[in-house]
Chain A
């Protein structure tokens, strides 16, 4: 690891000032579970590290119908939060299947986003829940839909003087249900071969009023399967419809072959997993209706 100056600003305002001062030469560190690896391997060599540990950005709260998650909320914090259990269970499933407990105690939500890994596990559920993010620079704040953040593997629209401050997710009507599925080479400590979240809103006659299918590890960035979503909306849900939507999702993605899986396997499994996720979500909808 190259040497660097370590800063631990006493407030987020000070961190933002430090970020604008050191810009490209600096990196923000929170959990460090990914950044330190890339620094050790000299993929990145910042001369200044700005630690967010004193900035109190790990809060999770609901305000005006929006859940706000601070960028340095750890995956364990997300798992322990009962309001997330109630409103965004698919996000918790993604956290539960992420690495192992010691990593989950350090890794943060903001880190998983800012790294801009195409395989980031928390991004598909956040995209399926219509999350947006707020970036702060000394010049002011910028809010954008999470889906617009990524531009390529490890690449995003974040400017050198910006810090990801928080993630916002609008609370959903009770008629909405979602399912996260991760395919990895083993149950723990695996980087996803394919990960995805499907979310459906339905009316009383089983008609789909809203659909989200967000996929990871199958394109240069996490992606939505828009044509698959369009095929579902306005239609009465059936197994045939789900099969057709899953095929469309397969046609929309552009995976590569790498050490974790081949292109062909990813294509095949995306279709299978989208189908499974939609069926599981449909079942959850039915359960909610019969119980409520």
Chain B
């Protein structure tokens, strides 16, 4: 893995072959057992949307969905993800259309530099999967593990509520056409 990598003499590398579902695609990867899920995504698979902020589970820039739950991908070894279903920020858009949450982030200026955004989006996506009308307090709880050092959190709260409203309307429309 990148952080802590050095030129000291090292023990023979334990290579592992991992099969998992990433953003809907069954993927096979060969990597070192000591690689984190974060660096497997970034270096082995080129999915650089997920960011490395603190490498210690504090900042949340690396949050991805693993089996329907947001987790810090820097705090998980690649082999621990064997057989799981992972969704990264790249997996949020469908048919070349941004997810309503991604659009709402842009529309409400929910970011400035954007570094925390991928993790922030995943935490908010996880919230909307289980709660289609979250309160401000519920949104703040959902993003308690995501740090923004530029603009703060109110824009994110606004974005999530806007996206939630849009998704509710969409669902109502689908229900109507279904009937």
Contact = CB atoms under 8 A, between A and B. Distances in A.
Contacts of B3: 40
Interface centre among A42, A76, A102, A106 (most CB of B within 10 A): A102
Interface of A: 1-6, 8, 29, 31-33, 36-37, 40, 42, 47, 49, 51, 53, 76, 99-103, 105-106, 187-189
Contact of A3 (B13, B55, B57): B13
A32 B144 contact: no
B79 A102 contact: no
Contact of A100 (B11, B33, B60, B80): B60
A1 B6 CA distance: 9
Given A3-B13, A6-B14, A36-B75, A99 B80 contact: no
Contacts of B80: 29, 32, 51, 53
A183 B80 CA distance: 33
A2 B71 contact: no
Instruction: List the 7 closest A-B pairs by CB distance, nearest first.
Output: A100-B145, A188-B144, A6-B33, A100-B144, A3-B11, A105-B69, A102-B145
Nearest to A186: B144
B47 interface: no
A103 B69 CA distance: 10
A101 B141 contact: yes
A143 to B, nearest CB: 29
Contacts of A4: 11, 14, 33-34
User: Is chain A's binding surface mostly helix, strand, loop or mixed?
Assistant: loop
A64 to B, nearest CB: 32
Contacts of A2: 10-11, 34
Contact of B146 (A8, A100, A105): A100
B144 A187 contact: yes
User: Is chain B's binding surface mostly helix, strand, loop or mixed?
Assistant: loop
B27 interface: no
Nearest to B14: A5
B76 A32 contact: yes
A102 B14 contact: no
Interface of B: 1, 3-4, 10-14, 16, 32-34, 36, 55-58, 60, 63, 66, 69-72, 75-77, 79-80, 82, 123, 126, 141-146
A32 B36 CA distance: 11
Contacts of B142: 101
Contacts of A40: 3-4, 55-56
Contacts of B60: 100, 102
Contact of B34 (A1, A99, A188): A1
5 contacts: A2-B11, A6-B16, A8-B82, A101-B144, A189-B145
A99 B77 contact: no
Contact of B77 (A5, A6, A103): A6
Given A2-B11, A32-B80, A188-B145, 13 more contacts: A1-B1, A3-B11, A3-B12, A4-B33, A29-B77, A29-B80, A31-B75, A37-B75, A100-B145, A101-B123, A102-B57, A105-B70, A189-B58
Nearest to A47: B11
B52 to A, nearest CB: 12
Nearest to A40: B4
Contacts of B1: 1
Contacts of A8: 79, 82
A8 B82 CA distance: 10
B69 A76 contact: yes
B145 A33 contact: no
A25 to B, nearest CB: 11
A263 B138 CA distance: 35
Interface centre among B14, B123, B142 (most CB of A within 10 A): B14
A192 to B, nearest CB: 15
